[in-house]
């Protein structure tokens, strides 16, 4: 039997993995569940991704692109007159207002790096890349603090079910951006 040329198969497998995690969580992610969701033979998933960790790395990379697209679309990092705290609060709000399943998936994959060392470089890469972007408008230490604060705000909203408060986020991010001088 001739092999069918299917250049999009790898991408369909990644998309299927994201849907499986969105529906069943990471515990439901198996080569078999992804193959069924992607409507491909089981061997295709293991051909493209020998391990589930490889598949999760690809899914996390793709999920990270969602927040990166939000940031790139707003363009505040290139405008020195833009209120950085307001822009960051807006980014968070825009991201959280997106598809809830996608947002939860991104966080679940990001946090999976705690237990899956193969995911750590991808999670760290996302945080480092975002800090480097933010350092265009502030210093590197403040940029890292902003990334940590943004992560914390997002996790609190997702875990507590409390609606996102953009004004609160703007205020607290602004405090980090313009921290008081020591001793004041």
Helices of type H across 41-83:
42-48, 52-74
Query: Taking Cα atoms as reference points, which of 113, 141, 137 lies closest to residue 126?
Result: 113
| Residue limits of CATH 1.10.10.60 in the chain | 7-50
pLDDT confidence of residue 1: 46
Integer Cα distance of 57 and 107 in angstroms: 13
* Proportion of the chain above pLDDT 70, given as a percent: 90
| Domain 7-50 of CATH type 1.10.10.60 | yes
Could you give phi then psi for residue 134, rounded to 5 degrees? -70, -30
Global pTM? 0.79
Mean pLDDT of 22-33: 90
Mean pLDDT of 77-82: 81
More confident residue, 148 or 102: 148
Integer Cα distance of 57 and 116 in angstroms: 10
Over residues 39-69, the pLDDT tens digits come to 999 999 999 999 999 998 898 888 777 666 7
| Residue limits of CATH 1.10.357.10 in the chain | 59-177
Residue with tokens 């992560």: 151
pLDDT confidence of residue 166: 97
pLDDT for residue 2 is more than 50: no
Over residues 123-177, the pLDDT tens digits come to 888 889 889 888 988 999 999 999 999 999 999 998 998 999 999 999 999 999 9
Integer Cα distance of 106 and 86 in angstroms: 23
Mean of the per-residue pLDDT values of the chain: 86
Q: Band the pLDDT of 183: cuts 50, 70, 90.
A: low
More confident residue, 72 or 49: 49
pLDDT confidence of residue 4: 67
Integer Cα distance of 33 and 25 in angstroms: 12
Alpha-carbon distances, residue 48 vs 11, 63, 73, 109 (angstroms): 10, 18, 32, 19
* Region at 183 (left for phi over 0; alpha for psi -120 to 50; beta for the rest): left
Residue 114 tokens read as 């705690």
| Domain 59-177 of CATH type 3.90.1300.10 | no
């Amino acid at each position: 039997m001739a092999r069918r040329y299917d250049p999009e198969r790898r991408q369909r497998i990644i998309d299927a993995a994201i849907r499986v995690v969105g529906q069943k969580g990471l515990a439901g992610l198996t080569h078999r569940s992804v193959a069924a969701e992607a409507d491909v033979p089981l061997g295709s998933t293991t051909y493209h991704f020998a391990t589930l960790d490889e598949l999760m790395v690809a899914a996390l990379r793709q999920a990270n692109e969602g927040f990166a697209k939000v940031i790139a679309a707003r363009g505040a990092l290139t405008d020195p007159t833009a209120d950085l705290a307001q822009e960051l609060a807006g980014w968070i709000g825009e991201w959280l207002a997106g598809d809830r399943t996608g947002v939860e998936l991104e966080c679940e994959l990001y946090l999976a790096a705690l237990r899956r060392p193969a995911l750590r470089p991808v999670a760290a890469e996302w945080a480092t890349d975002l800090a480097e972007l933010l350092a265009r408008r502030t210093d590197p230490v403040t940029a890292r603090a902003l990334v940590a604060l943004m992560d914390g705000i997002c996790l609190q909203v997702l875990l507590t079910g409390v609606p996102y408060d953009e004004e609160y986020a703007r205020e607290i991010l602004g405090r980090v951006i313009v921290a008081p001088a020591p001793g004041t």
